[in-house]
Structure 1
Amino acid sequence: MVQTWPRLRFADRSAPGSSGESAWGRHFNTASSPILAGPSMVLGPDFSPRRPSLGNSSQEGSPLSGGGHDCSPPTGVMEAVGVAPDGAQLIASGFSNEIVETILHSRAPSTRKLYAWRRFTPSLGRHPLVSRFLRGVLRLRPPVRSRVPTWDLAVVLEAFCKPPFEPLEEISDRFLSLKTAFLLAISSLKRVGDLQALSVAPSYLDFAPGMAKAFLHPKPGYIPKVPSSVLRPVVLEAFCPPPFREPEQQKLNCMCPVRALDAYVHRAALWTDQLFVCFGPSNKGQPASKQTLSRWITDAISVAYESSEPPSPLGVKAHSTRGMVASKAFLSGAPLQDICNAAGWSTPLTFVRFYGLDLPATPGSSALSS
């Protein structure tokens, strides 16, 4: 004998005779779900309380038993929002309440919650009128960029001349990595992605006689963020190299990027052709990602401030080194076109609009003029 599956109808919440309402109907009509408030889902008058059995009927809480509490999903708006559209579509297709409940439970509870969030969260930002409105707000009320830096380069460079960043031969791999990454960032004006692409393969890294300069090239096939920009090698010049005529020169040499790079290359476990590698015990020698390099640069600033008197700045980003260094180099007399060429900016307007900072010249800015 063919089992006739009961069809569903929609009735008003206040309609009488809803005693046969299923667990799903009770779940959707909870007062705590304002999104789904409205018509309630109940079974039609032809609904039979007898359920088709696919196994031992005496087993309580059968997966297909609408009366068993095991089939009811956890209460909560997130669950209801996620499964209501799916359930409504299945019901409109003619499936019974029992089959709908079983189909909806084909996903794990965690999957249903994630699915609900990703699928049914409103995407108002994609509406054409909303997009045009936001663009209009941006034109009428353009964001005001602060030209006051949140950190001082002089404080960081001064901290690099003492522990925990010196003596260079005795410091840990972590502090050597932080110091080298930061000095290369401020000396080259490169983005983090450009630094991550630097290679130590043969003919891609070279030191001039007497450690006066260092030449670095990116890995073969690297495409910069701005493809139209000329891909130039990174040229680092030594700062106050030996022999020293006075103690102050020896101190300033602690800020030298060539010196830090030489120490880093000889110590780092270079298991790859990438310059910067991880120093942690679990991934030592593995290529450092752009996110890792960004963290190294910001950590270098934080550690430098912790070893000094000023309080640590908040919200420091690795990208802020470009504006800081470009502004200090410009104040120290470096040609603006040379700064743009080093940073990969097509026109000086980019520096003026987005990176120029209003700051006085501070100790250490002369280290960037070259």
Structure 2
Amino acid sequence: MSVGKHPAIIHHMRAIFNVRTPLPRYQSSWDVDKVLSCITGWGDNSSLSMKILVQKLTMLLALTSAGRVSEIHKLNLDFMCDKGDHIIFQIPSLTKTCRPGKTKPELKFYKFEDNNLCVVECLRKYLELTEKIRDTNDRLNRNWLLLSFVKPHHPVTTSTLARWLKSVISSAGIDTANYKAHSTRSACTSKAFRAGVSSSEIMKQARWSNLTTFSRFYYKPLAGSDFQKAVLIR
């Protein structure tokens, strides 16, 4: 009998599991509408500074893609295709959810009727604002989508993106002591589900392989494409 199949070992491991049962980080979700109202209150994209515009864009990218910070971080202009009514990014390198035999993920962002909440319009304005910065003749690779708003405007890290997301969440009056940057994933998928988006559409958008992941770790009640419309409509 192998050690792993010994009754005493099995009993001991079950006891450890019962004591330390895996639990989701969040028991509730923040209200996406509060963040959308905050963003709308900032005004038109053309009136925003680079600092505010890039933070707004980061939040809209996170909410409409249901993406991880690590996925947003990998968005690169060399792998972007503007289709007019939507923009596609191929993810150029492996992500946490990549598996052998599966194609690399792509993120699609669709136009929305409210320009202040349209991720496509915000992205295009950001590219317009950073065009001269990207053409700077130095050794920095500025083909990555999201750049620092501080000179010399280098590509940002995942920790910077997480800090920007928390800043926007905080600006909306949500306690960031309880919610980290990754909570955007739970917040947007929960809102989409409550708005009637099918489980299969949510799984496809968030790149989950089974419904258990969503129902156990991401779908939360409020604290106190069809998917993207459901997230942005208030």
Structure-1-length-normalised TM-score:
0.52
Per-residue CA distance 1:135-159 (angstroms, 9 max, x = gap): 844423536545322x321111011
Q: Provide the residue aligned with 2:137 in structure 1.
A: none
Higher relative contact order (CA 8 A, sep 6+): 2
Aligned equivalent of 2:161, options 293, 312, 318: 293
**Runs ≥4 residues deviating over 4 A:** 132-135, 143-146
Q: Provide the residue aligned with 2:108 in structure 1.
A: 235
Q: Match for 1:261: what amino acid?
A: L
| Contact 1:230/1:344 (<8 A) preserved | no
Q: Match for 1:265: what amino acid?
A: L
Q: Provide the residue aligned with 2:125 in structure 1.
A: 263
More helix by share: 2
Q: Match for 2:82: what amino acid?
A: F
Change over 3 Å in CA distance of 1:256–1:161 after alignment to 2: same
SS at match of 1:288: coil
Q: Equivalents in 1 of 2:127, 2:184: separation in Å?
A: 23
| Contact 2:32/2:231 (<8 A) preserved | no
Q: Match for 2:165: what amino acid?
A: I
Q: Provide the residue aligned with 2:184 in structure 1.
A: 321
Q: How far has the Cα of 1:224 moved from its partner? A: 1.1
| Contact 1:147/1:356 (<8 A) preserved | no
Q: Provide the residue aligned with 1:352 in structure 2.
A: 215
Change over 3 Å in CA distance of 1:138–1:169 after alignment to 2: same
SS at match of 1:142: coil
Per-residue CA distance 1:65-107 (angstroms, 9 max, x = gap): xxxxxxxxxxxxxxxxxxxxxxxxxxxxxxxxxxxxxxxxxxx
Q: How far has the Cα of 1:218 moved from its partner? A: 2.1
Per-residue CA distance 1:316-336 (angstroms, 9 max, x = gap): 211101111111111112221
Change over 3 Å in CA distance of 1:185–1:135 after alignment to 2: farther
Change over 3 Å in CA distance of 1:298–1:140 after alignment to 2: same
Of the structure 1 ranges 253-262 and 336-345, higher mean CA displacement relative to structure 2 is found in 336-345
Q: Equivalents in 1 of 2:55, 2:111: separation in Å?
A: 19
For structure 1, the 5+ residue unaligned runs are 1-131, 241-251, 306-310
Matched, 1:303 2:182: no
Change over 3 Å in CA distance of 1:133–1:277 after alignment to 2: farther
Q: Match for 2:83: what amino acid?
A: A
| Number of residue pairs aligned between Structure 1 and Structure 2 | 208
Q: How far has the Cα of 1:133 moved from its partner? A: 7.5
Q: Equivalents in 1 of 2:81, 2:19: separation in Å?
A: 51
**RMSD over equivalenced CA pairs, Å:** 2.5
| Contact 1:199/1:205 (<8 A) preserved | yes
Matched, 1:280 2:150: yes
Aligned equivalent of 2:44, options 138, 163, 167: 167
SS at match of 1:277: coil
Q: Equivalents in 1 of 2:20, 2:105: separation in Å?
A: 38
Q: Give % identity.
A: 27
Larger radius of gyration: 1
Q: Equivalents in 2 of 1:298, 1:230: separation in Å?
A: 31
Change over 3 Å in CA distance of 1:143–1:227 after alignment to 2: closer
For structure 2, the 5+ residue unaligned runs are 1-10, 135-140
Q: Equivalents in 2 of 1:172, 1:134: separation in Å?
A: 55
Q: How far has the Cα of 1:230 moved from its partner? A: 4.4
Q: Equivalents in 2 of 1:207, 1:177: separation in Å?
A: 19
Change over 3 Å in CA distance of 1:192–1:298 after alignment to 2: same
Structure-2-length-normalised TM-score:
0.79
Q: Provide the residue aligned with 1:96 in structure 2.
A: none
Q: Provide the residue aligned with 2:64 in structure 1.
A: 187
Q: Match for 2:210: what amino acid?
A: T
Q: How far has the Cα of 1:353 moved from its partner? A: 1.0
Of the structure 1 ranges 181-190 and 326-335, higher mean CA displacement relative to structure 2 is found in 326-335
SS at match of 2:127: helix
